């Protein structure tokens, strides 16, 4: 028992030393206030969950956030990147400029559970009526950052530097034909005036153990690119396919061939990569071979060189398979989201803060994931750190936990306190860290 106590004291001493001059008094205050805010975070999240809004349409959500931030006496800017909200906390003392980001948009998903605050909202998405749901946890991110803003504002006299709170719309992607998300926020100068030194963000996870924090230095989440391929053949009667060139068969051959780019031509021991076809359209009648077929999908990569090679091979494979059948293939690839890249030096600095927030046994390094996150656009400009907070309901079999972006998505609200403490601790830990001159 004595040995265990000594080891615990030793660990805390190392943590406090590594996050430099965060005073024990301030740390105690922040922990206490985080606990006191837990119920408020849950209430905010439930309200936002019940009234979700799609990307670039988050007007009511933005107004709800802005009202709270203004009540704290912060300088608040609305209408950033269409519906974003940015607030600035000035301590009046020299120090770093730290940005904290939460995403605010929901998804075109119809909620399927019996929660008393389940969404009943509907909207038109790509010409179709759909339910709208916070099926990825953005409602939680908003509520946590609202609480971080309140706690840090209440302790302004103990802080230094400036803190910029970024509530970003359209993380899930702007509607067709529109700009949005982190890319547009960067273009509109969210990292300037004052110039931001570092940025932090979190993501709640429905399939990560409750109370755990997961991170990875360098590439943590994949780049997301979208591709579309138009195959042109020759129309014919379905009873006489030899009189035409079937673009559907050619498309099927291309789709199967694309998977060999991953399985046979990509060095998967270096990094993971994925090519997925998610949409295919061709024909109008059962007995007519159409002139044209179109299909589209996504490419996920964690290495820039691999990304470029895969793009080249998709174009080569599609055009040559089509050519071999007498058809043509037009390939379009659009880079959507860069790799979510955690600056390794920054990651090393903030790990002690994560352990302080969640406990040493609840912080772990994980493998990269092939999901994408537009937080990456900030990280292209300045050092940034992004991490996962576990909120898998304790009564759910981990193998059966509903994934993000699904109607059954579910999180345990007890995970919010871990996220709140982590955001507070990485912020103050970095704030009082001895910076190299």
Active site (catalytic) residues: 105, 171
Residues 6+ apart with CB under 8 A from 105: 53, 54, 55, 56, 57, 58, 61, 138, 169, 170, 171, 172
Beta-bridge mates of residue 200 = 100, 385
H/E stretch holding 328: strand 328-337
Nearest partner of 80 among 146, 163, 149, 179, judged by Cα: 179
Residue 26 burial class via C-beta count within 10 angstroms: exposed 0-12, middle 13-18, buried 19 and up: middle
Cα-based torsion angle of the residue sequence 325, 326, 327, 333 in order, rounded to the nearest 10 degrees? 70
Cα 134 from Cα 405, distance rounded (Å) = 8
Q: Measure Cα distances from 356 to 23, 31, 426, 435 in Å.
A: 13, 10, 9, 20
- What are the DSSP E strand ranges found in 347-414? 363-365, 384-392
User: Quick one: tokens of 297?
Assistant: 């999908």
Quote the radius of gyration of the chain (alpha carbons, Å).
24
DSSP for residue 401:
P
Residue for token pair 């031509």: 265
Angle between helix 24-50 and 415-431 (nearest 10): 130
């Amino acid at each position: 028992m004595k040995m265990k106590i000594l080891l615990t004291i030793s660990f805390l001493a190392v943590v406090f030393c590594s996050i430099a001059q965060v005073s024990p008094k301030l740390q105690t205050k922040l922990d206490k206030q985080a606990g006191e805010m837990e119920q408020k975070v849950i209430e905010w999240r439930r309200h936002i969950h019940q009234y979700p809004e799609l990307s670039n349409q988050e007007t009511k959500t933005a107004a709800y956030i802005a009202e709270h931030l203004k009540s704290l006496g912060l300088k608040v800017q609305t209408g950033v990147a269409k519906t974003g909200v940015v607030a600035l906390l000035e301590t009046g003392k020299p120090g770093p400029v730290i940005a904290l980001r939460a995403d605010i948009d929901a998804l075109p998903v119809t909620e399927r559970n019996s929660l008393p605050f389940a969404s009943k909202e509907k909207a038109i998405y790509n010409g179709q009526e759909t339910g709208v749901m916070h099926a990825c946890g953005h409602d939680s991110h908003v509520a946590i950052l609202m609480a971080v803003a309140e706690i840090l504002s209440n302790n302004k006299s103990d802080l230094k530097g400036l803190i910029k709170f970024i509530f970003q719309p359209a993380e899930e992607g702007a509607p067709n034909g529109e700009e949005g998300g982190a890319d547009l926020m960067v273009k509109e100068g969210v990292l300037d005036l004052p110039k931001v030194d570092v940025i932090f963000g979190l993501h709640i996870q429905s399939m990560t153990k409750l109370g755990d924090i997961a991170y990875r230095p360098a590439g943590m989440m994949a780049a997301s690119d979208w591709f579309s391929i138009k195959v042109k053949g020759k129309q014919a009667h379905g009873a006489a396919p030899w009189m035409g060139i079937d673009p559907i068969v050619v498309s099927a051959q291309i789709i199967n061939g694309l998977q060999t780019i991953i399985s046979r031509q990509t060095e998967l021991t270096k990094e993971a990569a994925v090519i997925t076809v998610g949409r295919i359209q061709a024909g109008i009648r059962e007995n007519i071979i159409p002139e044209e077929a179109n299909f589209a999908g996504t490419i996920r990569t964690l290495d820039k060189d691999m990304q470029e090679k895969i793009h080249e091979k998709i174009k080569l494979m599609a055009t040559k398979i089509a050519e071999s059948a007498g058809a043509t293939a037009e390939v379009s690839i659009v880079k959507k989201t860069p790799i979510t890249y955690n600056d390794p030096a920054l990651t090393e600095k903030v790990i002690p803060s994560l352990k302080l927030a969640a406990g040493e046994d609840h912080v772990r390094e994980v493998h990269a994931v092939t999901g994408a996150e537009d937080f990456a656009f900030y990280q292209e400009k300045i050092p940034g750190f992004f991490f996962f907070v576990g909120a898998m309901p304790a009564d759910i079999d981990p193998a059966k936990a509903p994934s993000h972006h699904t109607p059954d998505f579910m999180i345990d609200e007890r995970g919010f306190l871990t996220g709140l403490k982590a955001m507070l601790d990485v912020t103050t830990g970095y704030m009082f860290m001895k910076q190299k001159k």
